[in-house]
Amino acid sequence: MDRINILDCTLRDGGYVNDFNFGHVVLKDIVQKLSSASIDIIECGFLKSGAFDVNRSLFGSVEAVKKMIGNKNPNLLYVGMVQYGGISNEEIAICDGTSIDGIRLTFHEHEIAPAFVLGRQLIDKGYKVFMQPVGTMTYTDEALLKLITRINELKPFAFYLVDTLGTMYKNDLLRMFYLVDHNLNRNISVGFHSHNNLQLSFANAQELMQLNTPRRLIVDASIYGMGRGAGNLNTELVTQYINSNLGLKYDNLEILEIIDEYIRPLSMKYNWGYDAAYYIASVAGCHPNYASFLLNKQTLHVQDIHAILNNLEFEKRALFDKKYIGEEYIRYMNHHVEDEEAQNQIVNLINGKKVLLLAPGKSLRANTERINQLISEHDDYFVISVNFIPTDIVVDASFISNMKRFKSIQDIVEQSTYDRKIIVTSNITVESNHNVIVVDYSSYINEEQCIADNAGLMCINLLKKVGVQDIVLAGFDGFSTDIKQNFYEQSMTIDVEAERLIRINVATAKKVAQLEKQMKIKFLTNTVYKE
C-alpha cells in the first residue's frame, strides 16, 4: 500500500445520520463504487451483537458483512468497526480473507485495559486491528505516551489520532502527531479521524499529508462529509487533493456518482454540516450530539445554546447523555414564577367560554374562512393562537412559549396600539407590558422528553389548570416529514430530522388521548393525532 491511504467511513460514521439504513442494494453499490474508485480502505459499518438487517450497515457477524461486500478488490482493505462492549470476541469469526480484512476497535480511556485484551484476540484471529481511542485531544501527553507504550507491545496495524469533538487546530495535530511519530513502532500506521465542527478537517488533513515521514498515514473521510453534527472530512475533496498534488490515484467520477445517486438525496432529508451551534460545541469541548439535541428543540438562540453547553459539567461533556442534556435544557428554560394571579387573569379573560385554539399548521390556511365564520356566528368562543399571531384571523390572546417565535412577533406585541393579551411562559424575557401575562414554564411541560415543551400541549395543560373543559383545535395538523408542508406560513418552517418528527407525532397523539379523558377536545381541521 502507498504511504498515504484514504479510509472511507461513509457507511459507518455517515450511518449515524440515517440510522445506518441505506438499503441493501445501495450498501452493496456504494462498496462496489468505492472499490472501483480505488479507495484504499473501505469501512463497511459496525459489528454489533445481535444486529441483523440487510438494509442497515450494522452487522452481527463478519459473515453478514461478506454478503454485502461481494467481489473484493485484492489491492484494497475492507474493515468494520467494533465499539468496545458492542460485541464479544466469541461472536467474531476467524479472518479467512472472504469478508473484512480488518477491525477498527474504538474505546474510551477507562476501557483501555479490556480493549487491549480484545485487540490481542482479534489480531490472533488474523485481523488487521486499528486501535482508536475516543477523543485523543482529552489525553494528557503523559497518558498518551503510556498508551503508545501499550500499543507498541500490542503491535496493531494502526493507531489513531481521533478528533472526536472537532476541536483540533493545526498546532494540536502537529504536536500530537510528532509525539506519536517519535515514540510509536515504525511498522504501525498512524490514522487521523476528524470531525468538521471548526471547518478544519480538510486543512488538517493536508497538513498531515505534507509531513515528511516514511510512516504510512491513514486519513478518514466520508462522501459529501456525511456524518452526525458538523460531519467529516469529504472523501471527494481529499481524493481530488491527492490526485492533483501527489499523483493520480483515485477515480473521483465513481465517488461523484455515489453523491449524485445516494448521498445528495439523503442530504436533502437529513441534516449534517457546519452550524454555529456545532462550532460552539467544539469550542466548549462538548459532544456534537449535545448541540444537535439543542438545535432540534428549535426554541433557542445561539447564545442560549452557548450558555447551556458552557454550563455542562466538565466530566459530562465528552460523552453524550441524552437524559442529562434534557434535564439541563429544562433547568435553563425554567425561570420559575408564582403564577396564581396570572391563572386568575386567564380565568377572567375566558369567562366560562369554550376555547378555540389555533396552531400554525398548514390546514389553517385552507380553513381560514371557515374559522372566521365560526367565530362570527358563535360569541361563546375565546380564541387563542399558539406561538404566532395570525394576520387573517382575529384572536383574543396568543400563547407563546418559544423564545425564537416570540422574537419574531416582539415588535407587534410591544406596539402601544396592540390590544390583545399575550400569555408567555417564564422562560421568555418580556419588557413590562400591561398586555402580557406570565405563567410558570415548568408547571406546564410534559413528561415525554421529545414533547416536553411542545407549545400546543403546554397551552392545553394551562387551560386544563384554569378549569377549561371544552377546547376546539384548528391547525394542529401534526408534522409531515416534508418540512415544507408543516406550517401555514413558509417563514415558520423548521429544519428537523424526519425521525424526530415522527416521534413527536406519536408522543403528541398519546398525550392528546390522555387529555381527552379529562376534558372535551374537538379537532376542527385534519390532524395526524386522531388517525
Report residue 464 as a C-alpha cell: 386544563
d(CA 162, CA 318): 13
CA–centroid distance for 211 within its chain: 34
The tens digit of pLDDT for each residue in 36-54 reads: 999 999 999 999 999 889 9
Under 8 Å between Cβ of 63 and 92? no
pLDDT at 432: 64
In this predicted model, which residue has the larger pLDDT, 416 or 248? 248
* Pick among 2.60.40.10, 3.90.10.10, 3.20.20.70, 1.20.120.1200: CATH of 4-269: 3.20.20.70
Under 8 Å between Cβ of 511 and 521? no
Exposure string (b/e) for 191-216, b if CB count within 10 Å is 16 or more? bbbbbbbbebbbebbbbbbeeeeebb
pTM score of the predicted model:
0.70
Is 429 buried (19+), middle (13-18) or exposed (0-12) by CB count in 10 A?
A: exposed
d(CA 454, CA 445): 8
3-state secondary structure of 195: coil
Q: Does residue 448 have a pLDDT over 80?
A: yes
Give the pLDDT band of residue 413 (cuts 50, 70, 90).
confident
Question: Structural domain boundaries of the chain?
Answer: 4-269, 276-333, 340-530
3-state SS string for 97-131: CCCCCEEEEEECHHHHHHHHHHHHHHHHCCCEEEE
The tens digit of pLDDT for each residue in 127-159 reads: 999 999 998 988 999 999 999 999 999 999 999
d(CA 328, CA 309): 9
d(CA 484, CA 495): 9
pLDDT at 531: 63
- Going by C-beta distance under 8 Å and a sequence separation of 6 or more, which residues neighbour residue 264? 224
The tens digit of pLDDT for each residue in 453-479 reads: 899 999 999 999 999 999 999 999 988
- Angle subtended by helix axes 141-154 and 170-183, to nearest 10: 40
d(CA 122, CA 208): 29
Q: What is the mean pLDDT of residues 438-455?
A: 90
Q: Does residue 1 have a pLDDT over 60?
A: no
Report residue 79 as a C-alpha cell: 474493515
3-state secondary structure of 264: helix
Is 247 buried (19+), middle (13-18) or exposed (0-12) by CB count in 10 A?
A: exposed
pLDDT at 416: 65
The tens digit of pLDDT for each residue in 222-277 reads: 999 999 888 999 999 999 999 999 988 999 999 999 999 999 999 988 888 888 77
The tens digit of pLDDT for each residue in 173-224 reads: 999 999 999 999 999 999 999 999 999 999 999 999 999 889 999 999 999 9
d(CA 152, CA 116): 11
Long-range contacts of residues 409-417, Cβ cutoff 8 Å, at least 24 apart: 413/389
CA nearest neighbour of 299 among 337, 330, 268, 261: 330
CA nearest neighbour of 189 among 64, 20, 55, 6: 6
pLDDT at 515: 94
CA nearest neighbour of 230 among 12, 39, 13: 13
3-state secondary structure of 11: coil
